Chain A
Amino acid sequence: MQWNGEFLAFFLLSVMAIGGAVFMIHFTRVVHMVLALAFTFLSIAGIYVLLHAEFVAAVQVLIYTGAVSILMLFGIMLTKHRTSDHSDSRSRHQLLSFVGVAAFFGVIMWVIYHTPFSGGKAETAKYTVANLGEWVFKQYVIPFELTSVLLLAALVGAVILAKKERDA
């Protein structure tokens, strides 16, 4: 593995992403958890740039680090909660979860590193935003329109669910 700019960028970004996620698990104050995870989402946008997916990176920054994080902050600030999320008397549950997740992680990593990968790299020079738009609006135009219907349904549903209920 040679030390070039791509390796350095990948190393830094993945350390930032994993660090944010681990801090999310480790922090006790809920707002800090959300900020740590927003940092992770920002790092994942950098990883997308490394993979020649610039548009997806921009969408990631706008949707995740922008919209979803702010939505979660609203969710925390509009509900009353204990500021710290301390989980005493659940150490057995935590241990069991940790063992299960570790086993799952081990199996996945074993599969990833022991499966022979037959394939090459794509010609990323053709991965432009214009080509992406042609994919979305030519071959995948029906899923695109269905997505707009889904977003409309989600909008109406969220408004109806969060609205104050009238006493009947």
Chain B
Amino acid sequence: MPVTSYLALGAILFSIGLYGVLTKRNAVIVLFSIELMLNAANLNLVAFSKFGLHPSQVGQVFSLFSITVAAAEAAIGIAILFALYRNRGTVEADRMNSLKG
């Protein structure tokens, strides 16, 4: 398979994730869409560890680190959502407007 196929798959997944972030109301689904976008970026990293001018396994190392950071981000995001849910009683993203002037 040429590298463009993998890059195109990554772009498609990233766009779908971006659309989900922009349109979904449930904040949990918004967080999960962000995970989809991070996954698309990881796909590019791993693709360029096989193809390119200087391909090496470092791309896989970077994707491992990015997976770790994404997992930490998901845990913190869910914890913030719980705190917000206790105080506001909702997880709808468009009702979180306390900072709106």
Contact = CB atoms under 8 A, between A and B. Distances in A.
A76 interface: yes
A105 B81 contact: no
B15 to A, nearest CB: 4
A51 B76 contact: no
Interface residues of B, number: 71
A81 B91 contact: yes
B31 A72 contact: yes
A51 B17 contact: no
Contacts of A157: 76, 79
Interface residues of A, number: 84
Contacts of A51: 6, 46-47, 49-50
Contacts of B80: 161
Interface of B: 1-9, 11-20, 22-26, 28-29, 31-33, 35-36, 39, 42-43, 46-47, 49-53, 55-58, 60-61, 63-65, 67-76, 78-83, 85-86, 89, 91-92
Interface of A: 6-7, 10, 14, 17-18, 21-22, 24-25, 30, 33-34, 37, 40-41, 44, 47-48, 50-53, 55-56, 59-60, 63-64, 67-68, 71-72, 74-76, 78-81, 85, 87, 90, 93-94, 97-98, 100-102, 104-105, 108-109, 112-113, 117-122, 124, 126-127, 131-132, 135-136, 140, 143-144, 147, 150-151, 154-155, 157-159, 161-162, 164-165
